[in-house]
Structure 1
């Protein structure tokens, strides 16, 4: 899966959160995760967020510089990767939203959903005019696409589409002063917004007791409505900006606040993990695991025996003074075969599933369309893609239901 997100604290008390929706590979998304926060941190040091024009200029410069370097490298290596980016930065009571592409950020205020960003699509009149003025075309292939290729009119990466500026990386900014009544901000890839309206999302989040459960319910709702694209959601609690005891700042569909150790267990020690796994698996069976790297451009799959265990106890990791994280309800493990699984209580790389994130998708596997499940390891941040071991099986559907229950 090519969706991702980022959350952290920058110098000067700036809170950052971003959602990225990649396509044609993960390089553009990985570049954003590696470089965007650090570059913004350097550029915005000492800048008063009330100086909106200067803030906008710095953000545009940072994004365009990162895009220029990435596009040049992509041309040299013949990469075609690209990504959207919808981000927020909060300093005191001032928030700036920077958006590139069709991921979206909305504000939940007094139970109402208000857009803080505007999707960059070729159907937007101003975007259409810009594309045509640059010599580009807009055609319909299921949806409107720039030159018959991209369904979004602004991206980071996609160097071949920027030779004549058919698309641009320039972000659009929105400034907002946080005040009583502002409750949450939702950032999500278009997989959510394709099937859930701003108002529906706001109503779901405002009924939840925590941002983590809110993110989970949003993905649940999208899946119920037939979402057929990858989904990443982040929910940010704004109420701490005007309360004496701020609640946790963010809950997300996969935020990882700890660093993985060499054995992949993360912040948990193996004795504690053994105690949590002292039970028979809730689900087990043969599944296909997508290899993390494609060989010669062809994606390959490994057949493994998987076990899915519901934890007996929660394990909490204190990530920072602003937030903490609690493990999901399930631990996913895989072994070479069933016999090995019966002898070993702990696999080589236990995967702590965040129950607020489990996205399914249709894909072609061995020339047969099969339902696939993407899950994220809370500690490493890695995405694991699973599929049924044989055509016609419904194991993945069962596991989707289990993880999202």
Structure 2
């Protein structure tokens, strides 16, 4: 069936370079296989920055599109004394993830500069301000665009400042650190919790918060879903599952609730993690769940550890796409030619940022470009990331 679908898609395939641009300014990899793949993917929904500098080392960045309209937004902000990474995996449309990309970093920067520091409280407040801002937008526009009340986004943020890593997360994007363990073997450690109803712990949490609602989580279409609709339990947006005034008309059956909510079903309260970076900590992987559907944490860190830095985010995406094709009994070469929209039957939008930690840079004041890099839209410019 899938090979038939691929042949039909190939027959009507059209160039998509106007939607995705491959940036080759920094492609220093001398790996012929990856370079050939880069060339063949340049017109097939992939965007990347193979290697850039940040305050404490290098980073590699790649995004591949699957949806008709990409719902993954992301950014890296580099300053002289700090590095910011944000991955925003939207659902229901791009409005929430795009809004987060435009506002969350600015909210964080405003709060950090006002307090002269980065902390878990600062991150929590930046998430809250972003949620409030998006719900205000929903309130203003739902009269002409009611479905905006059903648009939301996962949100994963990491900040490195003064040798400390701060992470805040909503949803099922994931941050994983690779560190050297015994016998100098690379070990994966997951730094975030997946807020997804497929996990028993999350279902138990939801049931304890909603003891009078026997339908708070139900199995539907082969997966555990909150109210039979959504899998992630924390997000920015999804206003119709948080505020009674945003309940959607029954004419939208996909988002129809059998009765008005009496309390928020989802929350925008992030889970937080602080880690003093140690000499054994070598790199971080920030990625939307599209990567983790196809790779384990350990598989991902071993790929990063065993291959050159340049193009490593792209290599992780290529490996995930190979696995997605294998699961559908397709060849990878055929999957690369499947167009956006139809591509979503095979894999999700995928964003990957790999941040290398060079510990000599943690103790040495290095001058690096202050860059703001936005994933996929290929927006690159100066950053104002200065906390003090």
The TM-score normalised by the length of structure 2 is 0.60
Counterpart position of 2:30: none
Q: Is 1:217 aligned with 2:301?
A: no
Q: Taking structure 1 as reference, are residues 71 and 252 closer, same or farther at Cα in structure 2, changes over 3 Å only?
A: closer
Tell me the distance in 2 between the aligned counterparts of 1:138 and 1:106.
Answer: 28
Shift of 1:129: 3.3
Structure 1 vs Structure 2 CA RMSD: 2.9
Structure 1 distance, partners of 2:275, 2:285, is 14
2:240 match: secondary structure: helix
Report what 2:134 is aligned to.
70
Cα deviation 1:207-261 (Å, max 9, x = unaligned): 2222x411011001100111621111111111154475979899997484635xx
Does 2:259 align with 1:160?
Answer: no
2: CA distance, partners of 1:248 / 1:235:
17
Q: Structure 2 matches for 1:320-335, cutoff 5 A?
A: none
Cα deviation code 1:62-99 (max 9, x no counterpart): 21222123124324412121100111001120010110
**Counterpart among 197, 216, 233 of residue 137 in structure 1:** 216
Higher fraction of strand: 1
Shift of 1:125: 4.3
Q: Distance in 1 between matches of 2:131 and 2:375?
A: 26
The alpha-carbon deviation at position 36 of structure 1 amounts to 0.6
- Within the candidate set 73, 83, 87, 1:4 is matched to 73
Counterpart Cα distance in 1 of 2:368 and 2:314: 16
Of 243-252 and 191-200, deviating more is 243-252
Whose RCO is larger (CA < 8 A, sep 6+)?
A: 2
Q: Is the 8 A contact 1:112 1:202 kept in 2?
A: yes
List structure 1 runs of 4+ shifted beyond 6 angstroms. 245-253
Unaligned segments of structure 1, at least 5 residues:
50-54, 260-318, 323-405
| Map of 2:287 onto structure 1 | 188
Q: 1:65 to 1:130 in 2, by over 3 A?
A: farther
The 5-angstrom pairing of residues 133-282 of structure 1 reads 133-134=209-210, 135=213, 137-140=216-219, 141-163=221-243, 164-210=263-309, 212-226=310-324, 228-240=347-359, 241-242=361-362, 254=376, 256=378, 258=380
Asked if 1:127 corresponds to 2:127, the answer is no
Distance 2:300 2:234 in 1: 24
What is the TM-score with the length of structure 1 in the denominator? 0.58
Alignment of 1:115 onto 2:190: yes
> Cα distance 1:203–1:175, how it changes in 2: closer, same or farther (>3 A)?
same
Give the drift of 1:150: 1.0
> Structure 1 pair 214/243, CA: closer, same or farther in 2 (3 Å)?
farther
